[in-house]
A and B are shown apart, each in its own frame.
Chain A
Amino acid sequence: MPPDGYRVLKMSMQLNYQDVRKGDEVTPLVKEPTPRQLVMWAGAVGDYMPIHYDQEYARKRGLKGIIVHGQLAGAFLGQLMTDWVGKEGALSKLSCSYKGMNYPGEKITLRGKVLRKYVRGGEHFVECAVWAENPKGEKTASGTATVVLPSGDDDKGKGRKRR
């Protein structure tokens, strides 16, 4: 048996299926997108809707000002999960609904909580509720994420193989 310190170190490096319990919190991620980041996102995915860069246009369309792309909030939720699962884990499914607006310059806190865990086809899955919160604590996006993790039991092999 390796000493306890070794196990703590190993856990901090890689999350394993056997270490996860229902109700566990996913390590939160905080983002504070700037207008510049919205422009970078627009370029990276090719979404040039003016409501994401033109203040006057956004106001004419009934908004308080330019808004963060819904899909960018979705990508933040993706990062929340890929950060959490580490390099031996994988995010296999992410679904989210955009319920409210996020504005640049405001903090977005990405959170998650373990709903259930199960083994299917030899793979170890963990399903989590995930959401984005604005500074008022309102959920501006929410959904679920399913990840695959290494079992943590050396006999049962690693997580999803990357091809």
Chain B
Amino acid sequence: MAETLSGIEKLKAKVGVRWQPREYPIEGEMIRRFARAVGDPNPLWKDGTIAPPTFTLAVGFEQFVEDLMKLTPFNTVLMGSTEIESYQPMKPGDVITVVFKISNLRERKGQMGQMAFMSFESTYKNQEQTLVAKCRQMVIGY
């Protein structure tokens, strides 16, 4: 097993740096698909009127993880923790601007060899520049 993860230096250089903002137009079907995946029959989101607070996880995370993998090609990324603060529900027609930032990164030798523990933060603003949600997560890459 290598002493250090390949490409980890590129990721370390990103700590504290804000990612380029990305825009995500929210559609009713995205919300309904999310609710079906959770198996949540709540009429508020089953019909796509508003999104549940955890819908935040469906906005921009895919691209962020892709970016991480381009810098450091992990075999696996596991979730360590999730924190979501929701100030107002996202709804169809919103255009959400997401900004990610890695706040902390450390390497540790684990059962599966060298592992990276990454904490990151993300903010979610709507088209009126209102902050609608914040998220803090920790992932383990190895």
B37: contacting residue among A37, A70, A92, A162, CB under 8 A: A37
| Majority DSSP secondary structure for residues of B touching A | mixed
Interface presence of A69 (CB below 8 A): yes
| Size category, A interface | 35 or more
The stretch from A9-17, A38-46, A113-121, A151-159 touching chain B is A38-46
Flag if B81 contacts A96 (CB, 8 Å): yes
Count the A-B residue pairs with Cβ separation under 8 angstroms: how many? Answer: 124
Q: A61-B112, A163-B88 are in contact. Are A45 and B58 (CB under 8 A)?
A: yes
Flag if B79 contacts A93 (CB, 8 Å): no
Which residues of the partner chain A approach B48 to less than 8 Å between Cβ atoms? Answer: none
The stretch from A18-26, A73-81, A131-139 touching chain B is A73-81
Flag if A45 contacts B52 (CB, 8 Å): no
Flag if A41 contacts B44 (CB, 8 Å): no
| Size category, B interface | 35 or more
Cβ distance B61 to chain A, nearest Cβ, rounded Å: 6
Interface presence of A62 (CB below 8 A): yes
When each residue 38-65 of chain A gets 1 if its CB lies under 8 Å from chain B and 0 otherwise, what string results? 0011011111111100000000011000
Flag if B75 contacts A92 (CB, 8 Å): no
Flag if A79 contacts B52 (CB, 8 Å): yes
Cβ distance B98 to chain A, nearest Cβ, rounded Å: 13
Query: How many angstroms between the C-alpha atoms of A71 and B34 in the bound complex?
Result: 12
Cβ distance A64 to chain B, nearest Cβ, rounded Å: 14
Query: How many angstroms between the C-alpha atoms of A49 and B66 in the bound complex?
Result: 11
Q: A37-B37, A45-B61 are in contact. Are A92 and B112 (CB under 8 A)?
A: no
Interface CB pairs A-B, < 8 A, 5:
A45-B37, A46-B58, A82-B42, A94-B53, A162-B50
Task: Give chain A's interface residues, CB within 8 Å of chain B.
Answer: 31, 33, 37, 40-41, 43-51, 61-62, 69-72, 74-76, 78-79, 82-83, 87, 90-98, 143, 162-163
